[in-house]
Amino acid sequence: MQDNRIRKVVIVGGGTAGWMSASLLARVVSGGLEIELIESDQIGTVGVGEATIPQIRYLCDALQYPEADFLRDVNGTYKLGIEFVNWARLGDRYIHTFGDVGRRLGVLDFHQVWLRAREMGIDRDLGEFSFNTIAAYANKFAHVEKLGDTGLLGLGYAFHFDATLVAKSLRKLSEANGVVRTEGKICDVHLNGETGFIESVELEGGKKVEGDLFIDCSGFRGLLIGEALGVKYVDWSHWLPANSAIAVQCEGVEPLLPYTRSTAHSAGWQWRIPLQNRIGNGHVYSDNYMSDDEAQNILMSNLDGKAVTEPRQLRFTTGKREHFWHKNCVGLGLASGFMEPLESTSIHLVQSGLSRLIDSFPTRDFTQVDIDEYNRRTHFEFDSIRDFLILHYHATERDDSDFWNYCRTMDVPDSLMEKWNLWKAHGRFYRNEDELFTIPSWVQVFLGQHIVPEQCHGIAKLLREADVQDYLEKINGFLMQTVEKMPSHREYIEKTCPLQEAS
């Protein structure tokens, strides 16, 4: 039989996407595969991706990188969710947590019991039934997998980390597993005259690097997938109008919060990501609605500590590639598309893209049916995340700026409206195949943004008031008692994964 194995993978780019690709491929593919990563110190990386979602823990598992070691190496902290401040109304706050909320009652999702309670005039915040929310607001953390035999789930969590240290740690791991790193700036890409496949990339100075499969992790410009192969970019700015960000780090303050904060301003929002010894901050905004100077002033006057870096300006266009895999090139990270970091999904998209690539790892035949399926599944994931992000902007009552007036009144995708209408009628939500965000995620954001169903589920209507009261009381009481006994986030970090040296 003809030898059609992929013999060499070339990864272009050494940001988070490039080093995640290199480390994971080197770990899961054994024997006979050469991996070379090319990066240019002259160009540098974006390096601001510092908040994640719980799937990041699978990366540690797959790399056999113990969580505590990883957190120690990357200045990491635990993240229980994202607090949204001023999103639907000025003065509002709620947490979209990673954990479950309450507990199912028979056939009913917990939120149906909560909705029934509301109809009965029982006014309890949804967060009172979320282990994650109660722990987050108490600044507590511990590994808790389940709560005895109560049927309540434990804490769901992700990480905050220093993106530069992540790339550094993954580079170390990759090189230890045989990945070759080449420093240099690519100035040309050579395509096969007949097939249009990439044959090699050429570095300044004339060196050519050939390969069978190319992974484009070159950042926003998409050096291979966009510039060389001509795969177009689908622009989603009309739904997600932010196109700029300014990032700055400041000194850390106590207490060490176990969650990200996203505070809406008049033309976007500000992130606050607490690491062990500093805080990452940034203002994401639309420069059609606010000048860069104003955006920077707002950011700098809303820091919790003294700035320790110069503010850094970034520009982006929200959207995705028409194809994520084209010919013998797969785009990952910013080269494949970008949605603002509101729900910290970009690093996850690198990870899920890699997992799909490993699932359908090709031979040199590059079977089109596999490529099509990879693209179909990736489009589905991008589109469903897009809808979830749009929900945050569109479900607002804010009318204090042109930006919010636009977001509140804009047309949104039909796929989002279908979910919205179903939710609005009786609080029903169905999660589709491969959809990233779970029912508790959508429920927390819908309710946090004041999109409350007109009625609860027909079966919930049959519940008796005393039973509902008792059910809610027991769940909240148990969660409060559990959180009371947990250590603070700072204490837990100091005990399990303290940063070893100043970074």
User: Which residues are catalytically annotated?
Assistant: 79
Nearest to 130 by CA among 147, 106, 107: 147
Select 110 or 269, whichever has its Cβ closest to ligand FAD.
Answer: 269
Closest CB to ligand FAD among residues 219, 440: 219
- The least CB distance from residue 324 to ligand FAD, in Å, is 13
From 378, 388, 374, 379, select the one nearest 431 (Cα to Cα). 388
Please give the residues from 301 up to 320 whose contact with ligand FAD meets the rule CB under 6 A: 314, 316
Name the burial class of residue 322, with classes exposed (0-12), middle (13-18) and buried (19+) by CB atoms within 10 angstroms of its CB: middle
Q: Which stretch binds ligand FAD (CB under 6 A): 45-53, 93-101, 190-198, 494-502?
A: 45-53
- The answer to whether residue 295 forms part of the interface with ligand FAD (CB under 6 A) is no
Q: Which of residues 319-358 bind ligand FAD (CB under 6 A)?
A: 333-335, 341, 344, 346-347
Q: Which of 83, 127, 109 is nearest to 453 (CA)?
A: 109
Q: How far is the CB of 329 from ligand FAD (least distance, A)?
A: 14
State which residue, 13 or 76, has the beta carbon closest to ligand FAD: 13
Which string of x and - marks every residue 126-165 that binds ligand FAD (by CB under 6 A)?
-------------------------------------x--
Residues in Cβ contact with 130 at an 8 Å cutoff, skipping those fewer than 6 apart: 95, 97, 99, 100, 101, 102, 444, 479
Contacts to ligand FAD from residues 182-221, by CB under 6 A: 185-186, 217-219
Name which of 43 and 300 has its Cβ closer to ligand FAD: 43
Q: How far apart are CA 150 and CA 496, in angstroms?
A: 27
Instruction: Match 């192969």 to its residue by tokens.
Output: 229
Please count the CA atoms within 13 angstroms of the CA of 191 that sit on its side-chain side: 15
State the Cα–Cα distance between residues 127 and 125, nearest whole angstrom: 5
Among 6, 10, 11, 18, binds ligand FAD (CB under 6 A): 18
Is 249 one of the binding residues for ligand FAD (CB under 6 A)?
no
Q: Is residue 36 within the footprint of ligand FAD (CB under 6 A)?
A: no
Shortest distance in whole angstroms from residue 223 CB to ligand FAD: 5
Considering only residues 11, 14, 352, 377, which one is a binding residue for ligand FAD as defined by CB under 6 A?
14
Element counts in the chain: helices (H) and strands (E)? 14, 21
Give the closest residue to 262 by CA, choosing from 448, 13, 12, 457. Answer: 448
Residue with tokens 């770990």: 27
Q: Which of 16, 130, 132, 328 is the binder for ligand FAD (CB under 6 A)?
A: 16
Please tell me whether residue 371 binds ligand FAD under the rule CB under 6 A: no
- For position 224 contacting ligand FAD by CB under 6 A, the verdict is no
In the block, residue with structure tokens 């510039």:
227
What is the distance between the alpha carbons of residues 92 and 452, in angstroms, rounded to a whole number?
15
- Amino acid code (one letter) for 114: W
SS3 category, 410: coil
Residue placing its CB nearer to ligand FAD in the complex, 225 or 407: 225
Nearer to ligand FAD, 22 or 108 (CB): 22
Q: Rule CB under 6 A: is residue 245 a binding residue for ligand FAD?
A: yes
* CA separation for the pair 94, 394 (Å, rounded): 17
Give the C-alpha separation, 491 to 482, whole Å. 17
Regarding 226 and contact with ligand FAD (CB under 6 A), the answer is no
**Site of interaction with ligand FAD (CB under 6 A):** 12-18, 38-40, 43-52, 163, 185-186, 217-219, 223, 245, 247, 282, 314, 316, 333-335, 341, 344, 346-347
